[in-house]
Structure 1
Amino acid sequence: MSLVVNGDAESGPGGTAEPVRSVPGWRILQGAPAVVDYGLGGGYPAPDDPGPAARGRRFFAGGNSPRTALVQDIALPRRGPTGRPAVDAGRVRYAVTAWLGGYAAQEDGARLSAEFRDADGTPLALSVLGPATAAERGGRTALVEHTATAAVPPGARGVRLLLVFTRGGGTSNDGYADGISLTLRGARS
């Protein structure tokens, strides 16, 4: 089960290309994101464009700011097969996944980073996904799956997710993201 809150953009206001003032589960650091319905028109991804097979009705977009950034801080479990003792013994692996994309041949894009931190907030490890370039998307409006897996670093107590949308040209920030997930798996003894 994913530890990310609202990684699928289904909660809260939105549905249009208009910027939103809040995104449940995320804190807006910069810019003005949009939460857009698939099939809205105007060049936004349609339900039949490449993207997650199990997509909901909405996705994140960069809005109209040159750079938009959202952050989510996640506490790692204290107990259980993926809890602190297992993390400190090096027995927990993580997978971070995001569907990232953009519009046609434009280079607007989205990038997701997952930074593992200790109890004091000191960074211990970093995974960066994306952006999905126009070449990777085949010059199409599409979202492409990006995944990173590794061991959770011993001493990690939390993860900071940073979702950044960057406009490469035009007036709209057509970086897109959906299906953001962070899962943990304990190693078998």
Structure 2
Amino acid sequence: MNLVVNGDAESGPGGTAEPVQDVTGWRIVQGGPALISYSHGGGYPTAADPGPADRGSRFFSGGNSPRTALLQDVALPERGATGRRAVDRGAVRYTLAGWLGGWAGQEDGVRLSVEFRDAKGVPVALSVLGPVTAAERLSRTALVARTASATVPPGARSARVLLVFTRSGGTSNDGYADGISLTLDAATATGRGPK
């Protein structure tokens, strides 16, 4: 189960390239993001550009701000195969995943991170994905899959998911993201989650 709310940009206001004031499930901490439709045109990613095969109708962008940041604090499960006891035994693995990209040959990009925190809110581990460079996109408008998996650190009780869009040039912040997810799996005896 994806612990991230609205990781696909499908909920709430948006659909155009205009920045929004609220993003369902996320807190805007800097700038003004836009939730843009894949059918918008105007050089933005379309359903024909590289990206998620199962994409919905919209994706995140950095809007017009030089830097835009969205965050989401997620409580980890208290019980069950991925609950606190399993976490403290080192028996839970996480996977952070997202489709990250940008426009043509520009270096505007987005970074996705998860910071695990203990019961007092002290960071205990960090994992960062992106940004995807223009070279990695072959100078195409595209979103590229990025993932990271590891053991949830013992003592972790929450996770802070952060999307940071950075503009390198032009007037639009053309860092793009879609399909953001954080999932947990019970680790097997070999330390790997189920396949």
Alignment TM-score > 0.5, same fold: yes
Matches within 5 A, 1:1-189: 1-188=1-188
* Secondary structure of the corresponding residue to residue 45 of structure 1: coil
Q: Which runs of 5+ in 1 are unaligned?
A: none
Query: Which string of whole-angstrom CA distances, capped at 9 and with x for unpartnered residues, describes residues 131-184 of structure 1?
Result: 010000000000000100000000000000110000000000000000000000
Q: What's the secondary structure of 1:177's corresponding residue?
A: strand
Structure 2 alignment gaps of length 5 or more: 190-195
In 1, distance between residues paired with 2:82 and 2:167?
38
Percent identity between the aligned chains? 74
Q: Deviations over 1:80-116 (max 9, x none)?
A: 0000000000000000001000000000000011000
Cα RMSD (Å): 0.6
Q: Report the Cα distance in structure 2 between the residues aligned to 1:39 and 1:146, rounded to whole angstroms.
A: 24
**Offset at 1:188?**
3.2
Displacement of 1:42 in angstroms is: 1.0
Partners of 2:187 and 2:166 lie apart in 1 by 37
Counterpart code for 2:116? F
Deviation at 1:39, TM superposition (A): 2.4
- The SS at the match of 2:184 is strand
* Partner Cα separation in structure 1 for residue 39 and residue 120 of structure 2: 44
Paired residue secondary structure (2:161): strand
Structure 1 segments, 4+ long, off by >2 Å, are: none
